[in-house]
């Protein structure tokens, strides 16, 4: 099964690359979790769904320009092993990778809200985190973390916790159309400025 999935991933990458104009740069958005891996859950809302819908919104916002192509590591609710994701990323060799997740804290209602960004131990990753942090308020760069996607991805990569699942304010914002569109617009600006 795993072999088939890996083959499918590399076939996708090869097929994709053969149709991509050479001057178009690639940006990978990784929507965390998927399938039976829900991520964190609160009030019937799943992390896997929030990050997928925002990932798709970012892709949609960027579909009409010629500078870069936004690729999702998953574009529907499916189980996607971390090793398949980084295999695909390293084949695509993108300009940057943004892995989307949701935070949670031990409290019933989080006292904190906003973004938290984790980086690789590289200047390119830290620069990307800085750019993202400038667009979002409140946001906090938590620094390097030993996570699969940050460790194994060769491209500049950051993991962005978009908000707290157990912050009513964050959860409502991130599940609203307004919130999704604002976030997609901010990421579009970040891609242009990076």
Which residues of the chain form contacts with Zn ion (CB under 5 A)? 32, 39, 101
Residue in this structure with the two tokens 């890996």, named with its chain if needed: 6
Smallest separation, CB 97 to Zn ion (Å): 15
In the bound state with Zn ion, the residue whose beta carbon lies nearer, of 13 and 149, is 149
71 vs 28: CA distance, rounded Å = 5
Residue closest to Zn ion, measured at CB: 101
Residue 57 or residue 116: which is nearer to Zn ion going by CB?
Answer: 116
- Which sign, positive or negative, has the C-alpha torsion 119, 125, 126, 129? negative
CB 176 to Zn ion: min, Å? 20
Give the nearer residue to Zn ion in terms of CB position, either 162 or 184. 162
Q: What is the side-by-side order of every strand in the sheet holding 115-119? A: 68-72, 25-31, 96-103, 157-164, 115-119, 139-144
Whether residue 161 contacts residue 103, with contact meaning beta carbons closer than 8 Å, is answered with yes
Give dist(CA 147, CA 113) in Å, integer. 22
Kindly tell me which of 42 and 101 has the beta carbon lying closer to Zn ion: 101
User: 32 or 68, CB closer to Zn ion?
Assistant: 32
Query: Among 189, 133, 190, 185, which Cα is nearest to 162's?
Result: 133
Least distance (Å) between residue 79 CB and Zn ion: 14
CB of 50 to Zn ion, least distance (A): 10
In angstroms, what is the minimal distance from the CB of 64 to Zn ion?
30
Distance from C-alpha of 142 to C-alpha of 116, rounded to nearest angstrom: 6
């Amino acid at each position: 099964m795993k072999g088939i999935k890996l083959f499918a991933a590399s076939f996708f990458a090869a097929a994709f690359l053969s149709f991509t104009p050479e001057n178009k740069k690639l940006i990978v958005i990784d929507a965390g979790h998927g399938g039976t891996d829900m991520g964190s859950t609160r009030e019937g809302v799943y992390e896997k769904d929030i990050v997928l819908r925002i990932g798709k919104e970012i892709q949609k916002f960027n579909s009409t320009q010629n500078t870069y192509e936004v690729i999702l590591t998953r574009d529907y609710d499916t189980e996607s092993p971390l090793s398949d994701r980084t295999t695909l990323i390293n084949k695509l060799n993108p300009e940057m990778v943004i892995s989307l997740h949701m935070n949670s804290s031990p409290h019933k209602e989080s006292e904190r809200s906003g973004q938290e960004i984790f980086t690789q131990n590289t200047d390119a990753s830290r620069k990307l985190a800085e750019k993202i942090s400038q667009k979002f308020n409140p946001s906090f760069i938590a620094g390097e973390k030993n996570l699969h996607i940050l460790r194994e991805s060769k491209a500049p990569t950051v993991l962005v916790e978009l908000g707290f699942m157990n912050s009513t304010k964050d959860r409502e914002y991130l599940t609203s159309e307004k919130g999704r569109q604002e976030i997609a617009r901010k990421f579009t600006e970040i891609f242009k400025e990076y």
